[in-house]
Structure 1
């Protein structure tokens, strides 16, 4: 089994258009959730979200590229460019042939789908752009990353709702650890903040109209966000041989299925994934200092996740720090685990724990240290990142300080 390290990170999300801006916002406990700026917002009952503000596609892509790239693909390519540049990896020869791309998304090109449904059903048009299918397909972002950087090895997309990114990163970790690939580009992206995307989520009645307040007794639902997080996972000796900067080590992961309900989370299913990640990483639970929680701000998720953490960590749960950065950037659905992994990197590298903002009142069923409202300095050895999806699909990653 080979050791796996992270040598590059990139992002664009409601908190920032790159990693430094995002981490600064997390340290400051800044909120990227605001009133939505979009067509027909007056027809929505939910009018807030974590939009990527100040982003102009024309400044990053030419007209031909924009005709091919849905917004979620654009986000992916921007994040991948930052991650690959930081890593310094050049994909050519045997390295290109063996390296791969595994990315997560839940909806893929939903903006493209939404716009073209409007064109056909509302505006009565009988023709759509010839690139609609390659623009909206779930593997579009993965394919464009592989083409742009000449990555020719195992490449595909994972779609498992809110756990998509963590599942993708777990698989990428497995490929590198097993020796199947020396380098994997991995993470996830989502851009579901279109009229149809929000209207669909409204139907579930799990959305907040004012804020995302994970773990607070006053929480009243989740808030959607958008964006991407992309990382370069690399075999340790390969990274060391070329003198790469190592951001953190990925030490283990686990996946589980609740096999119980399509929307309600399961305490036992979540706990099995957490235990599995600890076991896979050969990590004693007392060494974990921080957990980036799934922490959606819904009544069901937050108390279930806290119960699962308490089950796994026992008395050590009282000494754990567990926060939800969704309170700042919203729930990025299939891209959420990737952006949230940045909080784990910040905790391990910089000794700064991202806060759970919007916290107003303790909930006896969420009686853990949720790092309320203000970031905290703390030196930790290991961290976990949780993702628990609709459909009962769970994925947890374990990381250690480099």
Structure 2
């Protein structure tokens, strides 16, 4: 029988699911089906919010409500998605979460998939731990996707294990705030464990999963991420994977409880604004408008390396040791289409600072 892993927030959680599947069950023991959102944020997908099946060509039906994303699938322009490329590079089956029908729709998808697959195990996986948010935390940025999958899993009549990998690495909730909810350590990831996704992390933009991989490889320090320049400690806690009581998480997560009866994504958004004070899709809408009005900088190597020197000097003064290529793309006033070119420029120019998949600040010498 196959295994089923629900990637709580989509994006990097799907990559982490593939990595953890191999680490926990072995590469020779079959491959899990990974149920995930197509939600890559604006660095990859210029269209705000998650993608539904109507935004793709080439999907394959698994059940009446669940679609497989094969390597041949394509997002319909102008939308973008990393899922077809993941399907091409990883040996797992990726199934699409469709949030368009609210928590009731995601619950129906899960129920159909469980009935169809009869999986030997079901895991709900979140990198960082924002699935454990109450909803009022000042550092919370993206609660909607995780709350939606948690609400759905809480209504499925099947045993589901909630796993949090790399607690605190998403920068949404400080580790101290969720430590009391973390049960035993299921696994501590190693450099060997992350090897199956090594090539994926060369291009995938997820910051949290990137730091999960880096800490599993032994990287320690402080990593500055995303547009707010948030500092994330890279510690021995980084590569740990904890089990969490799903009912306790649902009891704590006010947004997840509030949206359990929703039948549209608009309802979910409205309740997110009510419970959390915002909708992350609104943030993406506003940022997308801002990006349209601002032309990205030119990829001039000499100018970019000079700007990088200045950024690194300022970052070192803040105690920062590493950063992500997403952060560098924004700092250097580039856009998502230029991220890979920037990455290649920096690695070719200063290979000694590349600590895959992060960028290490120079020592200033």
Is the structural similarity TM-score above 0.5?
no
TM-score (norm 2): 0.29
- Greater relative contact order (Cα < 8 A, sep 6+): 1
